[in-house]
Structure 1
């Protein structure tokens, strides 16, 4: 192994536990003999392009540890559509700074970029170890059982649904149809997680609609009306990326491109709320937690926190073993008792892929998730975290 500096970057949407992966990499790297110093790229791709690095090895143990309890990307992140010349610039900057180890924490798009950086370093004959570290609340990264970040977002959403049930069921003769819109893009993992509430209380019926099953307006209205008639209220969870039988986004006329050229999702719950009031005699409202579902460290999963830390540490250990051009992964060994192990997969196998919810896990007639999802999701939301508090409010470490 060649001696040199280590560089870490965070990319894409933050999660409640992304800084645990950052902490894990730092902790392993500063005690690795072949790594001289540890740096972080400021705002992810922006720092990689503009040669803006900050030292991380000089942080005190106290500050490093405090990162574990802070949501959001401590180094900063940036959504940007990378071009071929950008990859060349990033590698040139790393060569200039004698970066020999590069760890990229991110989702599908980030793994694509990481693979491009790896291939460019090979083309130039530059000895650079590139390791991807998965994170995604959407849980759509290929070849890993699940992604750090998902468990905490799932716990937050399922908790929110329980709280919503307790509120609306206590109101007499004034309940509306309540729609909860989740993130997730083209996959329904987050919406599906709201079905986990039935493992705590069977008396909290929740309709779930995911992109993997074609959405029918008629079926939706029928199930909402039935739930209202049976319970006096209805709570329905809508994934932002639901599509009709033709594969079109339900609110496609409202969709705009985001900074990397993808449809800008969101707003489907508003559309469906209007549809309910237009087609039935029921009143409807919608709740959009938006970025809150990925930033709530106060309702985060201890399992998720520990695994985010674990993939970070394992990434450095794999680098020490001579692995290169890979992404760390989580492999599930058991559901009960829950047990995982860490492994890896080539970056080229991850880049550009997308892991969907198995459609056989979804009960279309009942608008609910079947038992296999319950066994899959429940272990990921276990355990609670205590965040530092001051004056009754959380205090988070920043860089």
Structure 2
């Protein structure tokens, strides 16, 4: 994570002022404001003697999350709001439940409003609200989706702030991805412009795990785990036929973390195509033919945002209501194009295609995501009650931190195809480096496997 063009002021978390109310939440320890976390723990020790004496290298620090000894808002006067926006994601209900229970049982907040159907719920004309109590949320973590529903697209910022004021809301939790948090920042900025004390705290929800300056977002590990069933099915279908091909398309519009991690976990993926890569059909066909010679089958995993320069028209497909580019279906295109190429070469083959995206998005969270979502919800409550605003909670270096929304939405985190994780996939799969050569700079020598005649392979061999 680069610290270039950044200053300590860029990382300051907005606050409404000194917190002077004793925290009613019983804690074994409290987080001190003067203890922070280094954004980048790496230290460069070389060439320090050549630095100009008037240049000081000051590490960038990031505020730690957790309960404070003093809080800003009086819990007896707090009215909290919760909203979920964008696509569905495992563990949304877990976060909602954690927020409600922490507010109620730990801080004594008695009124929590759930705004239904995303930011539409913050517009009076389309608003639908429900009161969230511990009784209402008692079992929601056992179900996928969101008890509050969701929607996409922007809404009038002024109307949303007016509505929050009319309802007496002074703490708002926004669960959503990049677009949602940009909207949250606009709400927080309008609140600041009006001189109001309404805390806006985001919990980043992106199954793609592409929020900058946080290591992980909730739902990601569930997606990786659930993708295994589809990869197993593709593998079985592929190796049950002569020259069988199994293609699995996984989520990842601009970042291929799910596809990469799922492929690493599987160990059965032979070809991985990510949005961060450039590739050609000629190279893919050559690889598949080599694979047929060696193992008589091939398993391909592709991220939904990969290869758009190949399968989408030059003019693009327009944008959706949220302003995101509409992507062509790379999975269906790859199945058709690869099949046509092999047919032209008179190569006998079969192709099976699997897209588990919606089944994964609406799934119940696995245990690791359930724990993570619970803690994120609690950290969001601690931040809001301490008077923090215009920020998200996240995890960095295995610790929970506060990140300004302006930094969290500054760019999309992407897979580093020069990094250790991608290299691990190349090492385990044997996928040739030249398939991604466009991103790796000048050509490098790489050992090529000598094709061997097709044989019946024992099932223990992938």
- TM-score, shorter chain, exceeding 0.5: yes
Q: State the alpha-carbon separation in 2 of the partners of residues 148 and 195 from structure 1.
A: 19
Q: 1:226 aligns with which of 290, 293, 302?
A: 290
Q: State the alpha-carbon separation in 2 of the partners of residues 65 and 367 from structure 1.
A: 47
Which secondary structure does the structure 2 equivalent of 1:223 belong to? helix
- The C-alpha deviation readout for 1:194-250, integer Å capped at 9, x for no partner, is 22235xxx5x24311101111222211122222232222111011111137xxx363
Which secondary structure does the structure 2 equivalent of 1:360 belong to? coil
**Per-residue deviation, 1:266:** 4.5
Richer in strand (by share): 1
Partners of 1:206 and 1:368 within 8 A in 2: no
Which secondary structure does the structure 1 equivalent of 2:275 belong to? coil
Paired position in structure 2 for 1:283: 350
Is residue 2:341 matched to residue 1:267?
no
CA, structure 1 residues 217+172, in 2 after alignment: closer, same or farther (shift >3 Å)?
closer
Is residue 2:92 matched to residue 1:18?
yes
Partners of 2:269 and 2:300 within 8 A in 1: no
Query: Any residues of structure 2 matched to 1:379-398 within 5 Å, and which?
Result: none
Q: 1:28 aligns with which of 102, 105, 108?
A: 102
CA, structure 1 residues 47+292, in 2 after alignment: closer, same or farther (shift >3 Å)?
same
- The C-alpha deviation readout for 1:360-396, integer Å capped at 9, x for no partner, is 1335974489xxxxxxxxxxxxxxxxxxxxxxxxxxx
Q: State the alpha-carbon separation in 2 of the partners of residues 211 and 349 from structure 1.
A: 22
**Per-residue deviation, 1:52:** 2.8
TM-score normalised by L of structure 1 = 0.81
Any unmatched runs of 5+ in structure 2?
1-71, 434-462
Is residue 2:401 matched to residue 1:343?
yes
Q: State the alpha-carbon separation in 2 of the partners of residues 75 and 195 from structure 1.
A: 33
Paired position in structure 2 for 1:70: 143
Q: State the alpha-carbon separation in 2 of the partners of residues 368 and 158 from structure 1.
A: 23
Q: State the alpha-carbon separation in 1 of the partners of residues 151 and 203 from structure 2.
A: 17
Partners of 2:230 and 2:354 within 8 A in 1: no
Paired position in structure 1 for 2:258: 190
Any unmatched runs of 5+ in structure 1?
333-339, 370-399
Paired position in structure 1 for 2:411: 353
Partners of 1:242 and 1:250 within 8 A in 2: no
Q: 2:120 aligns with which of 25, 46, 52?
A: 46
- The C-alpha deviation readout for 1:52-83, integer Å capped at 9, x for no partner, is 321002x51xx52311111112101001134x
Q: State the alpha-carbon separation in 2 of the partners of residues 240 and 250 from structure 1.
A: 11
Q: 1:100 aligns with which of 149, 170, 174?
A: 170
Number of residue pairs the alignment of both structures matches: 345
Is residue 2:308 matched to residue 1:250?
no
Paired position in structure 2 for 1:296: 363
Q: State the alpha-carbon separation in 1 of the partners of residues 329 and 231 from structure 2.
A: 19
Paired position in structure 2 for 1:378: none
Is residue 2:371 matched to residue 1:313?
no
Partners of 1:39 and 1:55 within 8 A in 2: yes
Partners of 1:207 and 1:237 within 8 A in 2: yes
Is residue 2:387 matched to residue 1:322?
yes
Partners of 1:158 and 1:196 within 8 A in 2: no
Is residue 2:188 matched to residue 1:124?
no
TM-score normalised by L of structure 2 = 0.70
Q: 2:132 aligns with which of 56, 63, 88?
A: 56
Is residue 2:307 matched to residue 1:237?
no
RMSD, aligned CA: 2.2
Q: State the alpha-carbon separation in 1 of the partners of residues 106 and 81 from structure 2.
A: 14
Q: State the alpha-carbon separation in 1 of the partners of residues 432 and 171 from structure 2.
A: 45
Paired position in structure 1 for 2:458: none
